[in-house]
């Protein structure tokens, strides 16, 4: 009897091996539950889902998502983070500093992957001990958002050398714009800090920009502005306000210019963190990463519609020029 059972087990293991069922996939047979916490509206980034799929994870087969979106009401983030903890998710992917801080306050045991920390004080806040070995339950991607906002501002002024007043689209309370203010002082350019867009949308804010006769607009790094970029593009085009954005896809969708990390690569890095933690790695042992791939995208169709000539110094450095 024992020989017969052993033979059956060997046959079963051989069949599983033939079907590609490894020891790892056996360990991952339990569906992993990934919490996704964002201060904006909307669901999981399509690029992130695609990156996980490339790593072999299939939604509703090997992974599921528990999405908690604050709809731009940052005061909701602590309770939404607590909901994810109560639902016993395996990992929390937290988008932007307010969500990351809320997740950290809600749990010291569930792994938290930053996607992405964009502000200052990552170490000072106590989220990580250092970049090389963060310790605790938080790791992920550090976005350099404040530094990149200042770089975008400088590129915008290079593209529009006659600009004297630049609007900054304000995400809301808690934003100091320190680097952008310093860059504006150095360039002797006046900043027009807008009111935060309300639930009604962007028309009120953009009408105020038009009345203020701004020469250009800087759209800061913020999840809501990414999710709602088509509305921002349309509002800027209606008032003929040239704008600089964060992600290359926004310039491809009709924005004038964009400079920032390659979003597909960032999402791939976040997905790799999730994969490694699901395989058993401790977040405290996984170094915090910074983006290494950046792109400058210029949309000449939009420039022509605005009656602008983009300098050759910008076009020659652009990774993509949309004609």
Q: What percent of the chain has pLDDT over 90?
A: 70
Hey, what are 73's tokens? 């009401």
Q: pLDDT per residue over 64-91, tens digit each?
A: 999 999 987 889 999 999 999 999 999 9
Which residue segments constitute the domains of the chain, with CATH numbers given?
2-143+263-285 (3.40.50.2300), 145-261+294-322 (3.40.50.2300)
CA 93 to each of CA 34, 103, 267: distance values in angstroms, whole numbers, following the listed order: 7, 9, 11
90: which DSSP letter?
A: S
- What is the model's pTM? 0.81
- For residues 54-59, give the mean pLDDT: 94
Q: pLDDT per residue over 180-220, tens digit each?
A: 999 999 999 999 999 999 878 899 999 999 999 999 999 99
The answer to whether residues 34 and 48 touch, using CB atoms and an 8 Å cutoff, is: no
Q: What are phi and psi of 217, to 5 degrees?
A: -135, 135
Per DSSP bridges, beta strands 165-169 and 216-219 are parallel
Q: pLDDT per residue over 13-53, tens digit each?
A: 444 444 444 434 434 458 999 999 998 887 888 889 999 99
In angstroms, the CA 27 to CA 25 distance is 5
Q: pLDDT per residue over 257-299, tens digit each?
A: 999 999 888 889 999 999 999 999 999 999 999 998 999 999 9
Hey, what are 154's tokens? 């400088």
Q: pLDDT per residue over 148-162, tens digit each?
A: 999 999 999 999 999
At residue 6 the predicted structure's pLDDT band, cuts being 50, 70 and 90, is: very low
Please provide the average confidence, as pLDDT, over all residues in the chain.
88
């Amino acid at each position: 009897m024992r020989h017969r059972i052993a033979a059956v087990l060997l046959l079963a293991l051989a069949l599983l091996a033939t079907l590609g069922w490894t020891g790892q996939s056996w360990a991952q047979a339990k569906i992993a539950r990934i919490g996704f916490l964002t201060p904006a509206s909307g669901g999981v980034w399509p690029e992130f889902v695609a990156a996980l799929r490339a790593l072999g994870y299939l939604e509703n087969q090997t992974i599921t998502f528990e999405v908690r979106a604050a709809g731009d009401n940052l005061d909701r983030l602590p309770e939404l983070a607590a909901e994810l903890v109560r639902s016993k998710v395996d990992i929390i992917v937290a988008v932007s500093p307010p969500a990351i801080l809320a997740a950290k306050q809600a749990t010291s045991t569930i792994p938290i992957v930053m996607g992405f920390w964009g502000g200052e004080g990552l170490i000072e806040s106590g989220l990580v001990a250092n970049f090389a070995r963060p310790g605790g339950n938080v790791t992920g991607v550090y976005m350099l958002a404040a530094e990149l906002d200042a770089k975008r501002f400088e590129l915008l002024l290079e593209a529009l050398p006659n600009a004297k007043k630049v609007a900054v689209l304000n995400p809301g309370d808690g934003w100091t714009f320190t680097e952008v203010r310093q860059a504006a002082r150095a360039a002797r350019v006046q900043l027009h800090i807008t009111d935060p867009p309300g639930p009604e949308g962007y028309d009120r804010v953009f009408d105020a920009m038009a009345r203020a006769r701004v020469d250009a607009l800087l759209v800061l790094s913020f999840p809501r502005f990414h999710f709602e970029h088509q509305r921002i593009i349309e509002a800027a085009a209606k008032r003929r306000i040239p704008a600089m954005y964060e992600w290359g896809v926004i310039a491809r969708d009709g924005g004038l210019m964009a400079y920032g990390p390659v979003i597909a690569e960032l999402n791939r890095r976040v997905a790799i963190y999730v994969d490694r933690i699901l395989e058993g790695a401790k977040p405290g042992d996984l170094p915090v990463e910074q983006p290494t791939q950046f792109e400058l995208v210029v949309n000449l169709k939009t420039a022509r519609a605005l009656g602008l000539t983009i300098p050759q110094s910008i076009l020659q450095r652009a990774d993509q020029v949309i004609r």
